[in-house]
Amino acid sequence: MSERSFVPLGLAVLTISDTREMADDRSGTTLVDRLSQAGHRLADRRIVPDDIEAIRDTVLAWSRDPAVDVVITTGGTGFTGRDVTPEALEPIFDKRMDGFSVIFHRLSFDKIGTSTIQSRATAGVVNATFVFALPGSPGACRDGWDLVLKDQLDYRHKPCNFVEIMPRLDEHLRREGRSL
């Protein structure tokens, strides 16, 4: 049995914030640095305000872009009035990934205890593109990448990973004769 080769993916990073700019976007930079160090390529990076339509429009556009395999958002997952990332994303998920939130909270609990309950981290698939919504802190982005996404986005990770199922994410669309 031959060893698997690394498969670089195109990842887009979306920071959701009314106050951040590229120069002070520590969470987005954390994700960009980590995905680059892992050997993936940055397909795009943007900052949008805490606005349902702006978030949704950006993620939908990326989900139709063949250069984007995965979208990672940071910010807007809390409970304040401006936190609308789950409200923007969950209605457009073709499939929800409930296990992501469960695992993220389990691992986060080990670091920040019950404060993890203040996050509504979520994930799903949109137009055959994985979408992960992380909290807006650099620490949460580090944990989300280092403890969950890094391995799941690495084709060499066993016993299974997201990369090996990517070619089959749109089977339902192809069966129905639809296109992305």
Tens-digit pLDDT profile for the chain (180 aa)?
458 899 999 999 999 999 999 999 999 999 999 999 999 999 999 999 999 999 999 999 999 999 999 999 999 999 999 999 999 999 999 999 999 999 999 999 999 999 999 999 999 999 999 999 999 999 999 999 999 999 999 999 999 999 999 998 887 666 565 555
Q: What pLDDT does 170 receive?
A: 82
Task: Tell me if 5 is assigned to some domain.
Answer: no
Task: Tell me if 1 is assigned to some domain.
Answer: no
Task: Tell me if 180 is assigned to some domain.
Answer: no
Task: Tell me if 178 is assigned to some domain.
Answer: no
Q: What pLDDT does 3 receive?
A: 86
Name the token pair of 19.
């106050």
**142: Cβ contacts below 8 Å, ≥ 6 apart:** 30, 34
- Coil, helix or strand for 163? helix
Task: Tell me if 71 is assigned to some domain.
Answer: yes
Distance CA 67, CA 41 (A): 10
Whether omega for the bond prior to residue 49 falls within 30 degrees of 0, making it cis, is: no
User: The domain that contains 122 carries what CATH number?
Assistant: 3.40.980.10
- For residues 38 and 153, the answer to whether their CB atoms sit within 8 Å is yes
Q: What pLDDT does 18 receive?
A: 93
Structurally, how many domains does the chain consist of? 1
* Residue 29 structural domain: 10-171
Task: Tell me if 2 is assigned to some domain.
Answer: no
Q: What pLDDT does 180 receive?
A: 52
- For residues 12 and 69, the answer to whether their CB atoms sit within 8 Å is no
Task: Tell me if 55 is assigned to some domain.
Answer: yes
